[in-house]
Amino acid sequence: MKVLITGFDPFGGEKINPAWEAVKKLPEKIDDIEVIKVQIPTVFKKSANELFAAIDRVNPDVVICVGQAGGRFDISIERVGINIEDGRIPDNEGYQPIDTKIFEDGENAYFTSLPIKAMVHDMQNEGIPASVSNTAGTYVCNHLMYSLLYYLDKKGLTNVRGGFIHVPFIPEQVIDKKNTPYMSLDVIAKGLEIGIKSIFNHKVDKTITGGKEF
Ligand code: PCA
């Protein structure tokens, strides 16, 4: 069994990206699951193209993309990617789309095929704050999540499960910020490891609430 897990490079003036830092900390093997790590640039089109190349090369059973969500309190497992890009700030190559489609021939949205309720449940069970998120935003993370699910669908890779996890800032990133939530890198990495195990332990998701009013 193989999991391809990606993390973005730093963006928006940050020196590090906790997503990539946490991915780097993962072991090379979790039980009998081989863990293949790839860094992805925070650049709209390039991020997806590099992910597609990695999927073709690695032939994974599961693909998890991880990104920073500065301002969020917990590890959030994304439910859906939407066919829109609207950049609050330019990407790392200066591109700032406003209300453009990611793929003209794609659905309006794709739902993740990861067992997100089980993943949240298992993380919480081990004392790690986690929740289901119903929006991955409209920046490069949503672009990558949408593109991943579009690619798996268009290529007919129905056995490959894919999705996206957003992680909070780590402590060193919030020293110069006021009232900003953070989580330690070790806790984030442990959360990702639990999430990976959970995916391989759950072919079908649990039917438990993960709902939010907003
Ligand atoms: N987070 C950004 C893009 C790269 C990253 O780590 C996002 O949430 O869109």
- Range of the structural domain that residue 190 is part of: 2-201
Tell me if 212 is assigned to some domain. no
- Percent of the chain past pLDDT 70, that is, above it, reads 100
Query: Which residue out of 21, 65, 85, 166 is catalytically annotated?
Result: 166
141 CB near ligand 1 (under 6 Å):
yes
Q: Could you give phi then psi for residue 168, rounded to 5 degrees?
A: -75, 175
- Percent of the chain past pLDDT 90, that is, above it, reads 99
Cα torsion 71, 77, 79, 82: sign: positive
pLDDT for position 214: 86
Q: What does the pLDDT average to over 7-29? A: 98
Rounded CA separation 48/30 (Å)? 26
If you measure from the C-alpha of residue 111 to the centroid of ligand 1, how many angstroms do you get, rounded to a whole number?
Answer: 18
pLDDT digits (tens, 9 = 90+) for 157-177: 999 999 999 999 999 999 999
83 CB near ligand 1 (under 6 Å):
no
* Of residues 1, 204, 19, the one with CA closest to residue 113: 204
Domain count, the chain: 1
Tell me if 23 is assigned to some domain. yes
Q: What is the CATH number of the domain that holds 64?
A: 3.40.630.20
19 CB near ligand 1 (under 6 Å):
yes
Tell me if 209 is assigned to some domain. no
The residue whose C-alpha atom lies closest to atom 8 belonging to ligand 1 is 141
pLDDT at 117 over 90: yes
20 CB near ligand 1 (under 6 Å):
no
